[in-house]
Structure 1
Amino acid sequence: MVKVAMAEAVQAAPAPSSPEVAEQIAIRASFRVAMEALRV
């Protein structure tokens, strides 16, 4: 379940222009996944 959400978050993210942007996207995606897991 979580792996599917992570895969979707990665696919939905645009191609990052820099490592910092990629890191921010990853942090946001993982935080969203964590909140979804807690809600369920």
Structure 2
Amino acid sequence: MANKGLTVGVKAPEFELPATNNQKIRLSDFSKQPVIITFLRGTW
């Protein structure tokens, strides 16, 4: 599998995910602070 990840310091593209309260969370909601994004791939 080719590595298609971003490198440190590269701006991530805007995305949005559902939250547990029926709202949406956007990456831009955290624009005033550092963000660490981790993706976990399940094996189930």
Greater fraction helix: 1
Return the TM-score normalized by structure 1.
Answer: 0.26
Return the TM-score normalized by structure 2.
Answer: 0.26
Q: Does 1 or 2 have the higher relative contact order (CA < 8 Å, sep 6+)?
A: 1
Q: Which has the larger radius of gyration?
A: 2
